[in-house]
């Protein structure tokens, strides 16, 4: 029997970073209207990338004559309108929108999302679920019924997660199996090591493995040129097939000031 694992924080949170890894931080921002919802940019380029990917792949069988129902997992949407815009594009194509699942660890974001969707046609109403992307017990209980997902949509959520502390997983009793992702347990078992330390982004990537299938596409918008680089365990399951520069929206500057161009990056990763 493969041994299970427990986790503990390695206490290496980025010094001086806002409390992006604290749901209470976001609850307050969303409840008070402090967060406008659109990090980095509006995400139109992400939508085009999602649609292009879906149009190239065979739809998951849903029964003869039924509308196509793409299975999309939207990570940490907060109060962004990206999911709603994507759903509208699905409707334009005659696809169902109820395959879009928004997952956020902020109870306020989920409450607002559910409230907004409550009046929608059931065939197009998006799902909203609360779960911490760093917690396998949260994710498995909240998302198993919706998986496997065809596409993971990530608009700077990996950036926010990256500011958190690393996690150390160690061999432990079988009682903790439900709390540790099978992909993480596999690392400890197959590598025959007593513990493994994972960055928040690498842990997220491993948590997504049981919720996806080979060929699933992870589409992410990030401010970082190296967001998914140098993660050996991530690379065993996800292949970075492209990173495309996208000029960042211009901020307010004095008319005489020279401002260098700033770029964000659209990553496309494939599950292997």
pLDDT tens readout for residues 179-231: 899 999 999 988 788 899 999 999 999 999 999 999 999 999 999 999 999 99
User: What CATH superfamily classification does 38-55+67-163+201-248+260-271 receive?
Assistant: Vaccinia Virus protein VP39 (3.40.50.150)
Is the pLDDT at 236 greater than 90? The verdict is: yes
Domain residue ranges of the chain, discontinuous segments joined by +: 38-55+67-163+201-248+260-271
Percent of the chain with pLDDT over 90: 67
Mind listing the pLDDT tens digit for each residue in 51-92?
A: 999 999 877 655 556 889 999 999 999 999 999 999 999 999
Count of CB atoms situated within 10 Å of the CB of 197:
14
Residue 1 has what pLDDT? 35
Over residues 105-124, the mean pLDDT reads: 94
Q: What per-residue confidence (pLDDT) applies to 120?
A: 94
**Structure confidence at residue 258 (pLDDT):** 63
Q: How high does pLDDT run on average in the chain? A: 87
pLDDT at 41 (0 to 100): 84
pLDDT, tens only, 15-56 = 556 677 777 787 777 777 776 667 788 889 999 999 999 999
């Amino acid at each position: 029997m493969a041994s299970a694992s427990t986790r503990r924080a390695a206490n290496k949170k980025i010094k001086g970073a806002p409390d992006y890894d604290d749901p209470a931080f976001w609850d307050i921002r969303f409840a008070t209207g402090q967060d406008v919802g659109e990090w980095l940019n509006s995400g139109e380029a992400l939508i085009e990338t999602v649609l292009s990917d879906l149009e190239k792949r065979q739809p998951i069988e849903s029964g003869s004559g039924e509308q196509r129902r793409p299975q999309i997992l939207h990570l940490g949407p907060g109060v962004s309108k990206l999911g709603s815009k994507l759903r509208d594009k699905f409707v334009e194509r005659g696809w169902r929108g109820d395959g879009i699942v928004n997952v956020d660890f902020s109870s306020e974001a989920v409450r607002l999302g559910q409230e907004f969707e409550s009046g929608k046609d059931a065939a197009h109403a998006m799902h909203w679920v609360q779960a911490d992307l760093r917690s396998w017990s949260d994710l498995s209980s909240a998302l198993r019924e919706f998986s496997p997902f065809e596409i993971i949509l990530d608009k700077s959520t990996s950036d926010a997660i990256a500011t958190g502390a690393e996690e150390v997983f160690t061999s432990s009793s079988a009682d903790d199996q439900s709390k540790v992702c099978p992909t993480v347990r596999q690392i400890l078992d197959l590598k025959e090591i007593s513990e493994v330390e994972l960055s928040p982004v690498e842990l997220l990537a491993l948590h997504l493995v049981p919720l996806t299938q080979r060929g699933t596409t992870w589409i992410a918008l990030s401010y970082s040129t190296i967001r998914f680089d140098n993660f050996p365990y991530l690379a065993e399951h996800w292949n970075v097939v492209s990173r495309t520069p996208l000029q960042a929206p211009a901020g307010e500057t004095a008319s005489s000031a020279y401002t260098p161009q700033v770029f964000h990056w659209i990553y496309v990763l494939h599950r292997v």
